[in-house]
Amino acid sequence: MMGTREQTKGAVTRRALLGVGLLLAATSSGAARADGDTRAPAAKFVDDLGRKVVAVLRDPGLDRAARLRELTRLIDEATDLALVARLVLGRYWREASEAQRREYTALFRALVLKTMADRLDSYGGETYEITGVQRVDERDTVVSTRIQRPGGQPIAVDWRVRAEGGRLLLIDIVAEGVSMVVTQRSEVAEIAGRSGIDGLLQEMRRRLEGTA
Amino acid sequence: MRAKRTNFGVTLVRLAAGILAAWLLSMPAARAVEPNDPLEPVNRVIYGLNELVDVVLLGPVSEAYGELPSPVRTGVRNVLDNLRAPVTFVNDLLQGERERAGTTFARFFINSTLGLFGLFDVASELGHPQHEEDFGQTLAVWGLGEGPFLMLPLLGPSTLRDAAGLAVDQLAFDPFAYTASGDVGIARGVGEAVDTRHRLDAVVRDVRRNSLDPYATVRAAYLQRRGVEIRNGRSATGEPGYESIFRDDE
């Protein structure tokens, strides 16, 4: 089923600029900016990332390896993977030793990238539009998008963006209401609860060596 | 696959009534972050059996179904959705959503006539978009907690509340119930299972390949999806359980 979509990478378009423009207009006209409203910058951040990802997927000059390398770089730049790893480990983070935390964070990053590589061939042909921006608190903003896949139903995807140290970084992706952080937290808690943090690390290593 | 007939229904009612009583006596607290899954060992066994059925039967059948022309599959989906309308309508009303009930009623009327017995979703094009409600969602709107997570044989992930809701929908609200109308009911159940499995194919493959613990993934995804459905599409942003995760670094 997925195979037919692999050839459609050229057909990527984008309708988000209008949305961002409207948001910028809406937020700069009010007094909202005085308290450091992050909605417009967050929408721009997600749109910039989306545009870069779309460009990499569309670039006919890239072979599969180069495409993967570029996407990895983009995700690394835009995501606070160390924080995501920590949030996913939840209460077990506090129990982990410094060495365990270091190894876990490295393994987490490697597994995220492995999963992305595994999904790479099913990407292509997507278009997206930004449908809303919601400020959660002084740190976090959620940018909602609708992603249209060729020949499929549109998917609602929320991007949670955190402002830290003067920059914005992605910390969760919520597809059709299913949060990556919540879901992975549940997986990790199962394994850590059953076989401890060392057991979790062992399972992650095993996964990584598996089919990569 | 919602297949078996009367026995299944009677068993379900007895089961539902029994557990409902036990569980009303111990109303769960507000949604915690950790999943409520005291039956996990049993649930995991059932999950394994469901996976087996999926690998040998449902998966291959849904793959063959995927070879049908896309308009045919859309027609099947539309008919199945249309048959669901009465259940959605009753639950719209029970939730006090009169406007949504009106939409559901209009959809059923339009699609059953102009849409040739539901084959075409004319109503969506006329500005009446589809939504689904069930008695599990109604119970949630009424304030009932989800209760323990359940993995149902063949039917997949559920909760005590949602399983009880399903039984009520099937036995009380659904004029085209799987359990009541013989071969048509069976055909509908099979169609529902195959079509749903087909649409989830990419997700199923992804979970099998990339999840550290597929059972935990399915459970987490189900509970989150239900949350969104109960909130009529609103995401978990701002919900206390979800937000607490992102303050974990403080």
| C-beta separation of B31 from B190 below 8 A | no
B130 touches chain A (CB under 8 A): no
Written as tens digits, the pLDDT of chain A (212 aa) is 333 333 333 333 344 444 444 444 444 443 344 456 778 899 999 999 999 988 888 888 888 889 889 999 998 899 999 999 999 999 899 999 999 999 999 999 999 988 888 888 777 778 889 999 999 988 999 999 999 888 778 889 999 999 988 899 999 999 999 999 999 999 999 999 999 999 999 999 999 887 54
The Cα–Cα gap between A122 and A119 comes to 6
Non-local CB neighbours of B18 within 8 Å, separated by 6+ positions: none
Query: Which residues are registered as beta bridge partners of B158?
Result: B150
The pair of structure tokens assigned to B216 is 């935990």
The Cα–Cα gap between A157 and B108 comes to 30
Domains assigned to chain A: 4-209 (3.10.450.710)
Q: Of B96, B99, B102, B121, nearest to B110 (Cα)?
A: B121
Report in angstroms the alpha-carbon separations of B216 from A2, A7, A155, A180, B51: 25, 34, 23, 12, 14
ipTM greater than 0.85? no
Q: How confident is the model at residue B194 (pLDDT cuts 50, 70, 90)?
A: very high
φ/ψ of A16, rounded to 5, equals -85, -25
The Cα–Cα gap between B125 and B102 comes to 16
- In this predicted structure, the answer to whether residue B171 has a pLDDT above a threshold of 70 is yes
Q: What is the DSSP letter of A79?
A: B
Residues of A at the B interface (Cβ-Cβ below 8 Å)? 1-2, 83, 86-87, 90, 93, 111, 114-115, 118-119, 122, 134, 136, 140, 142, 144, 151, 158, 160, 162, 171-172, 174, 176-179, 181-191, 203-204, 207, 211
Q: Does the beta-carbon distance from B228 to A211 stay under 8 Å?
A: no
- CA A204 to chain B, closest CA, distance in angstroms equals 8
- CA A111 to chain B, closest CA, distance in angstroms equals 8
